[in-house]
Amino acid sequence: MDVRPTSLAGVQLIEPRVFADERGFFLQTYQAQDYRLALNIELDFVQDNHSYSRKGVLRGLHFQRRQPQGKLVRVVSGEVFDVVVDIRPDSPSYGQWQGLLLSAKNKHQLWIPPGLAHGFLVLSDGADVEYKCTDYYDPSDEGCLIWNDPTVGIDWPITDVPLLSVKDQQGMVFAEVGRTETPADNA
């Protein structure tokens, strides 16, 4: 595999080795020892997720406050514009974002260390996205950075408002992200 750093500290693009011939292809999507060595991942993956979304759906930008998840993301059908925002106050890339095309065709993966906000916009008719997580999902710990926060200034490849869940429509602005309490703590 070929591993390339991105503009965000610790976020890395992975181009797996693909063995293709007239029958199709084979690639290894994860092998603990290889990924630990190549990416310096010292965490165990404890949960695998799979989502399907239709064209124009934007999911995110999600994060967990007290139990941040590292994610190894890949697209198994379709194409997405995958976005990561560095919300770690002590990071040299704090407040910056990175957007990359992940697709079934390019077979790239993205390693997102714990502590960043993550989301994606579906560009194809539909997309299946799979990702491994280093911690368990906890709905009471979840936060959402609003997709169009002008402070972050993500250049999404769209002209219309994307299809968003109610939760994603109500995401917080970047200035609020550093708060550690959850809405339940304020009740």
Tell me, what's the pLDDT at 185? 43
In a domain, 14, yes or no: yes
What is the domain extent for residue 151? 2-177
On whether the CB atoms of residues 61 and 117 are closer than 8 A, the answer is yes
In a domain, 30, yes or no: yes
How many domains does the structure of the chain reveal?
A: 1
Tell me, what's the pLDDT at 39? 84
In a domain, 104, yes or no: yes
Which parts of the chain have pLDDT scores under 70? 179-187
CATH code, 31: 2.60.120.10
Q: Which residues are catalytic?
A: 62, 131
Tell me, what's the pLDDT at 187? 36
In a domain, 156, yes or no: yes
User: How many whole angstroms separate alpha carbon 44 and alpha carbon 13?
Assistant: 19
Q: Is 76 left (phi over 0), alpha (psi -120 to 50) or beta?
A: alpha
Tens digit of pLDDT for each residue in 144-164? 999 999 999 999 999 999 999
User: How many whole angstroms separate alpha carbon 38 and alpha carbon 183?
Assistant: 38
Tens digit of pLDDT for each residue in 85-98? 999 999 999 999 99
Tell me, what's the pLDDT at 61? 97
Place of tokens 């992975």: 14
Tell me, what's the pLDDT at 179? 63
In a domain, 182, yes or no: no
Tens digit of pLDDT for each residue in 123-145? 999 999 999 999 999 999 999 99
DSSP structural state of residue 134? S
